[in-house]
Structure 1
Amino acid sequence: MIETFAIVLGIAVVAAGVVVIKHRFWPPSPDDEPREDVAEYIAMMVSVLYALVLGLSLVAVWEARSAAEEHVQAEASAAHQIRLLSAGLPAPAGERARDAVDAYAHHVVSEEWPAMTAGQPPGRRGWDLLDDLRAAGQVPAGATLAQQATLQESLAQLSALDDARRGREADVGESLSPVLWFGLIVGGLLTVAFMFLFGVQRSVTHVVMVMGLTALITFTVLLVFELNQPFNGLFAVDSTPFSRYFNGS
């Protein structure tokens, strides 16, 4: 967080320095021609279009992060339900299922999460553990109707866990389109550049305007950057649902 504000402040100060240099060496003259209507219209259109790009980018990365959080919650919940349902299975099968889901959850937290934080896919080991869990849930032919119903519910939860895991793996590779990144950077530069094209007689007013606009654009772009990494950064989706599951809550 401190680094983010330092970057925002640093870029704003640089922009303010450029304004001061401009007013020091190329001060606006009272005899300057008034701004043309066409130039004002172009500046307005650039600002409006850039606002649209910013809004689209923020919505895209926020939805991607929300989807990642939902997948993690669904996966942890399904694993927890399978563990609870294992108590309704025959003793050998129930113990195997409980041990298998514990091994899977431990692998997700201790092995997969550090890899995802580094931007790497979870890997094949997790699927192998799910295969072990699926095999552990086999109920003997002489199982009661209640045990068979419990097994069916466990299989349904296992299917939900599979879907949530696939979604989590896809979330690791999700990223904002390079086209939108290009629009964010170029659009921001153009928007700030237009602040230098039209003369402002009072240098203090010009400095405040440029600093405010530059700081706001920089902060928004950094916000998009942080949200663009669902499992890393200030707004990272962490393994708290699985950790709560381990703690028995």
Structure 2
Amino acid sequence: MSEWVALVVAMAAACAVVLAVVVLRRRTAGVEENVDETPDVIEYITMMIGVVYAIVLGLAIAGVWEARGAAQDDLFREAQSLREVSDRAVVYPAEFRDQVRSDIDAYVTYVVNVEWDYMSENGAITDKGTQLLDKVQNEVASRAPASDLESQTYQPIMDRIGQASDARNQRGQSAGPTMPGVVWFGLIGGAVVTIGMLFALQIRRTPRELILAACFSVLIAFLLFMIWDFDDPFARSVSVTTQPFVDLFPSLDLKG
């Protein structure tokens, strides 16, 4: 089942449950129950619960969106740093320059074509990818500069490799779900309480009230799905892609 089909099913289920409860509650209401009036205290409590839950939802959405944006920035920083290392290697002799560029290309190809799928499925980066990047760093670090131009370029290249390594580590930490379980407990529990308070308002079976109740439950289901979808920056439907690597290394045979 695709994620979008799951979203439609979840929203339809939430809508159906709310409508079913409203209709059944109306049918089974006792003759002494006054469904036309709701105590003011219940309206006030319902309003406060809705406000508090809206704040919680807003903070959760902002948190997962920020995490996704940070993951996108780290990926671009990793790709850009490696591109600069490849470009700055022009100051080295042809044999060493070609070796450095070949190792960078091997790392980028491995990350895009192999490691990305592993990271999406397992929520972690691979040891082989780390070894390929360490190979590039060790090659440059172990070669003594042979000219003034190489001496001037050595430190900037090492800085870019260090930035790529740091961005890679950040990518590994961002892989997998980022939302703690206790937050999900609060989000789901809050949704149940918030939707449940609809029944305390003694809504009737009029089309207007039923439509509003259904729309409210569908909205809550959609927002929870959106938080879940953004929660894993490198998987699911709205995820960070390998496009920075594809754009900066167009000569490589990379999966788009």
**TM (normalized to structure 2)?**
0.88
Q: Which moved more, 1:146-155 or 1:180-189?
A: 146-155
Partner of 1:132: 135
Q: Report whether the alignment pairs 1:235 with 2:246.
A: no
Shift of 1:215: 0.4
Question: Which letter maps to 2:219?
Answer: L
Shift of 1:33: 7.6
Tell me, yes or no, if the aligned pair for 1:19 and 1:206 is still in contact at 8 Å. no
Tell me, yes or no, if the aligned pair for 1:89 and 1:151 is still in contact at 8 Å. no
Distance 1:99 1:203, change over 3 A: same
Q: Which runs of 5+ in 1 are unaligned?
A: none
Question: Which letter maps to 1:127?
Answer: T
Residue 63 of structure 2 is aligned with which of 60, 69, 85?
Answer: 60
Q: Report whether the alignment pairs 1:158 with 2:161.
A: yes
Partner of 1:213: 216
Partner of 2:25: 22
What CA distance in whole angstroms lies between the structure 1 residues aligned with 2:31 and 2:216?
21
Residue 192 of structure 1 is aligned with which of 185, 188, 195?
Answer: 195
Shift of 1:166: 1.1
Shift of 1:140: 5.6
Distance 1:57 1:142, change over 3 A: closer
Partner of 1:75: 78
Q: Report whether the alignment pairs 1:171 with 2:180.
A: no
Length, aligned pairs only? 249
Residue 223 of structure 1 is aligned with which of 218, 222, 226?
Answer: 226
Question: Which letter maps to 2:44?
Answer: Y
What CA distance in whole angstroms lies between the structure 2 residues aligned with 1:78 and 1:141?
21
Partner of 1:36: 39
SS of residue paired to 1:137: helix
SS of residue paired to 1:26: coil
Deviation string 1:132-190 (CA, Å, 9 cap, x unpaired) is 10232258657221122222221111011011111101101451122221111111111
Partner of 2:121: 118
Tell me, yes or no, if the aligned pair for 1:28 and 1:199 is still in contact at 8 Å. no
**TM (normalized to structure 1)?**
0.91
- Alignment root-mean-square deviation, CA: 2.3
Shift of 1:234: 1.6
Tell me, yes or no, if the aligned pair for 2:76 and 2:244 is still in contact at 8 Å. yes
Partner of 1:100: 103
Tell me, yes or no, if the aligned pair for 1:104 and 1:129 is still in contact at 8 Å. yes
What CA distance in whole angstroms lies between the structure 2 residues aligned with 1:142 and 1:71?
30
Runs of 4 or more above 4 Å deviation: 27-33, 138-142
Q: Which moved more, 1:167-176 or 1:76-85?
A: 167-176
Q: Which moved more, 1:1-10 or 1:192-201?
A: 1-10
Q: Which runs of 5+ in 2 are unaligned?
A: none
Shift of 1:222: 0.2
